Structure 1
Amino acid sequence: MDISDDLQRRIGVFVLLALGVVVAVAQLYDVYADVVSDGASLFISLVEFSFPGLLLVAFGVVVGWLYLNDWNGRHVLRVATWSLVVSAGVLALQAWVLGIQLFYQNGTDVGVIASSNAAVGLVLGSFIGIYSVMRSQDRRELERSEERYRSMTEDVLDSSDVALFVLDADGDVVWVNEAVADYFGVDRDAIMGRPKREVLSETAAAVAEPTRFRERLEAVYDADGSRGEERFECHVLPGDGREERWLEHRSRPIESGLYEGGRIEHYTDVTAQKETAARLEDRERVLRELHGVLMDRSADVDERIASLLDVGRKQLGLEFALLARVEDEDVHVRAASPRDWPLAEGETYPLSDTVCRRVVETGESQRFAHLSAEAAELTDCLSHADVDVESYVGMPVHVDGEQYGTLAFYGPEPGEPVDDWEMTVLELMGNWVGNELALARRRDEREQVLRETREQFASLVGDVEEYAIFRLNADGHVASWNRGARQIKGYEPSEVLGEHVRMFYPEAAREAGEPERLLSEARELGRTETEGWRVRKDGSRFWATVSITALRDADGDLRGFLKVTRDMTERREREQQLEHERERLEFMNRIIRHNLLNGMNVVEARAGLLSGRVDPEVAEHLETVQSRVRDMVDLIETMRSFMQVLTEEDGERTEPVVLDAVLSSEVEKARKAYDDATVAYDPPPDVRVVGNDLLPEVFENLLSNAVQHNDSPEPTVEVTARVDGDEAVVTVADDGPGVDEAMRDAIFEKGEKGFDSPGTGFGLYLVRELVASYDGTIDVENRPDGGAKFTVRLPLAAAAVEGVEESELVSD
């Protein structure tokens, strides 16, 4: 059960009083016994009682002091307990000594009692001495702690840049440091020990928003310690005994120690950070304004330069700005801000009368916060314009590497020095102005060239007669008309300008919406091409190839169309005539293949049946017949291949062909056909070349030519193949008489052969035509050691395919 503090104190005081009374009664009874029973002197007894009496009086004073000073009840009770215990111990010791003497020695010994009391005194003295030493040590440690505390508060916390308030649980100010007085301009000693709410009126008076400041702090105090860490900023205004500064307030509850339940408040000077943040924000604003000006493509160069001057002079805090072009000894004002400044746009002034002459002379940026103090020789400048200049910032402007002029800012009063960042921004402005002026100059030059080109193009287009070249507006109406259009379509400009392009199409095409479809394709794809019938003014029709190109401006908006029309009627008629001739050649090819070749095969077969069954005289004629029949069959086969090249679509198509397969097959055929000949073959790498099913005819004719034109009894032919870049190179070399140099250039012509040469004279011609159809080449040369060498170059299939794809892309 818990006992209240007051009850504990009362019990302790009662115990102490009871002990005192018991001791006093015992002493008084001893005096009485000495006087009455033993007849001792009363004076002697009182003198004997004086010392214990004084102790009892002192003891009573202590008990009264404990009660009146409102000591903690537990402490009073502890004193009473120790007093009772010690008294009981001393009495027990005395009883022990007296008991021993009475029961065992039949009397008391004064010496023993004295020694016993001395022992008690010795023990109590020892304890008291130990206690005194310990108290002394504690006192010295306390003094050292207090010294350290004073050193910390005075030497450290008082010298801190952070203003500190320490509040106890009741909200009273128990300690502040020197920074509080410096920051808020208050008397440090005057606020110590006062409630913080009273001190608030004095500290709040120093800040920019005192009401807001008080409300925020009072809300923390009203929360009765439940608020955790608080943080906000306040602006201290300059005043009596204080400087302007920004402070960051941070406070938190004290959770342990002497001031548990109170709060500690910190005020940190963040003026430098705020100023830095303000500078950064100001710089960011300037950069945003610059970016907005530089990226505003809706304004022309002069408008953006004027905006740039406004941004620069506001940033510097100067009143005037200008961009000037320096030429010879004169300054021409290109732009000024404000525009009504005495140095007006378009005006010209002597360079010697301007502050800019220093920039022109040195070729470097110049800045003067106080012109008369830093550049006295320039103080008379601009006097003719009634302008007083005291502060100046200027930098050179270069266009295409040459000095154009200056970008300058002026102030009539001495100004603040321009820092490096501002100077860098201004120099960037100067660089941008120079770049924009250079771009404007080149743009003007390009526009001039473009105007001249347009005039030349218009003149050229107007004089073209082979093509109808005219413009349409975005809705498809005619906007221009050239000479070729008049020539081809028969209309004069006055008859077609403003008319819709539908008027040039046949009625069926108009009803099908072909004009609108072609314009829509050109609008979506950028360009479209077509062929078809068109109508002239006289109603006659002509076959035309037409291209329509969409014309767009720099923003991508459609401005109209350019239409180019060419009369292809004659060409179409020629193509139709060639197609007719091709059909006739195809008819002849069929006759040769099916009629003549079949008839010659029948003759050769019947002659073969007669062989060996006729007289020797007839056999010689029969052999001649068979020889001529074979020649005719060879001629028919050659003509058939040649006709196939000219007439069949297969002769125009190409595909990848394995070169080794073709060469191996033809070499093997030649070995079987010519028993006396030796045909050597060096296989090529595994490559594919451009060809078709007629490619074997090339090498069959070359091998036959190498053997038949060879005068050696045992002809030797060497066939080799290799890859050279994107080509395959095949050579067919023999050891014959070679090629007559006089016939070398004509050897691949039609019908060329020697008088004694077998064959038709069309073989090498066919070879050349076939190789040319594959985009290859063939040539012949004599070998140094005798014989002829034919070299065929064929494109590799992959390269050829890539080439075709590229050509198709170009044509599209």
Structure 2
Amino acid sequence: MDAPSKPDGEESSVALPSEHRFQLLVNAIKDYAIYLLDAQGRVSSWNTGAERLKGYTAEEIVGEHFSRFYTPEDIETGLPARALRLAREQGKFEAEGWRVRKDGTRFWTSVHIEPVLGEGGELIGYAKITRDLSQARYSEQALYASEQRFRLLVEGVRDYAIYLLDPAGRVTNWNAGAQLIKGYTAHEILGQHFSRFYTQEDQRNGVPARALQTALAEKRYEAEAWRVRKDGSRFWANVVIDAIFDEAGQHVGFAKITRDFTERKKVQEEIDRAREALAHAQKLEAVGRLTGGVAHDFNNFLTIIRSSVELLRRSGADEERRERYIRAIAETADRAALLTKQLLAFARQQPLRPEAFGIAQRVRAMEQVVETMLGSAVKVEFDVGAPLDAALADPTQFDTALLNIVINAKDAMPTGGRLKITVRSVEEVPAVRRHAPVKGAFVAISIEDSGSGIEPLTLSRIFEPFFTTKPATKGTGLGLSQVYGFAKQSGGEIDVRSRVGEGTCFTLYLPRAAGFGDPAVQSSTPDAPRQTLKLTVLLVEDNDDVGQFASGLLSAVGHAVARASSAKDALKILEEDCQKFDLVFSDVVMPGMDGVDLAKEIRSRWPDLPVVLTSGYSHVLALEGNHDFALLQKPYSIQELEAFLDRAVPNSNRRSSPHGHVG
């Protein structure tokens, strides 16, 4: 610290070592301006920190009055003199304020002034310490300004209700958006529990408390639900609640943001209604197209059958013509039955009989049929892969699906080309028709042709029933619908890739059979020979026409038949003498007790008596897996009926001699 100047001619005393060390200490301090004033306020010493903060050297400032560091405003109000007076009267003076550097710039300071007294208690000067707080002041002002701007921002937001809750859920502040959306002013709602915005149902169910618990446990809660305004009206709200913690990690409350989504919800509901209406319209259009297609085809079938019957009735028809008419009736009936099966397959109500079968062997067995169907102009290549790959599906329906795809390939190659059938095992069905990929064990059967390809617009509709690009006499438009329905009903998928002018590839994905042995061995095992004895059958059919026809059919192949027109009548007949019957052959759809319930009752009371059910009703056929009784689908041929009844009655249950006709 600089010592006060001595009068001329007076020698300075030698400084004590302790005073020297103190002076070195004070001069080493650079963050504080530490200096002395005489009793009149003139600077008498000046340290390094004072020079750095104020910009003056000791030579420039010693002897000058300290008021020069004050702003003109403070000098005008007499602040420098007042500071010294307060320091003298109260023992110290402390304050913060603006000061002026040598270059005229201002800085915010913390000032401490204490009086310096002599040994006799007289005032000999003042000790003054000044610290530059400009940066802290600027930071504080910036923070304050930021908080003010944020407060103004929050207060100015009108589309969002933004407010705070204390840890108990009481409202502690309220912005303009909250007032606009909920209807309460800040004066009305501060201190109130936020649960008053919830519906009575949600309050009873404890939704507000769970929302805070979730926000506290997971640091965030978000939901959409109905909320209540001050006037009692409801609005659809998007709600976000965040838990707030202080610097020490202590929970201090919640920040809550609510947005009114009522209009958005109305728009979404309108969109949903429009979608439903469109889907309904599309469904009606599909039903109309389906109905028209079915009516067209069945009218054709009925025309053939009716004409053939009329011609048969005419006298004079020779045997050859009669045979031709009968053949026409039979073939047309088969085509009508196939059409029904294709419709059921598309609707996924075709009764499938899934079993494990070797895909490679099945495809190889169809090789000659495929080559014959395509003709010599199309080169056929088979790549069937591992021989043990097996699918779990209905093998007959698989054959039909494969041939339907081959027929389409043939139509795409009228002048010849190439067709390749590939079989491989895959562990995933790829994304198909906007569906995500599906993991699993599948067998993929790809049929790829080098034909004309399919236009993108057509490609999107090829699985629709009765949609076809062929001439009216060349197809029903149900072939690919059958493939689609079969794949879906089997738990698989059908994919198609096509490029116009380059060809098309259909890939049928079927579930892979687990634990399947060598299919070649399984398929080569012949059925055990069966004794072809005639049966005594109890026929249960409520429709007289169908009952007479079925009774005549059974009698024509040598079976003895008794007829019951209802399940109730059938049970009475069996109660009288069930021992004379080898089998019960019953329709499913009947008034009162249906065929399935009848079969269950018979099994319960006469467990050794076999029951065969029959139906042509699609809903019954689709529910075939809900019971374990044999089900013969209508319409059926004589051969199908005989084979079905033969399988239904084990050899051990048959009588040694045929029964006579039961009246």
TM-score, normalised with respect to structure 2? 0.37
Q: Which structure's CA Rg is the greater one?
A: 1
Per residue, is there more helix in 1 or in 2? 1
Q: Higher relative contact order by CA 8 Å / sep ≥ 6: 1 or 2?
A: 2
Normalising by structure 1, we get a TM-score of: 0.31
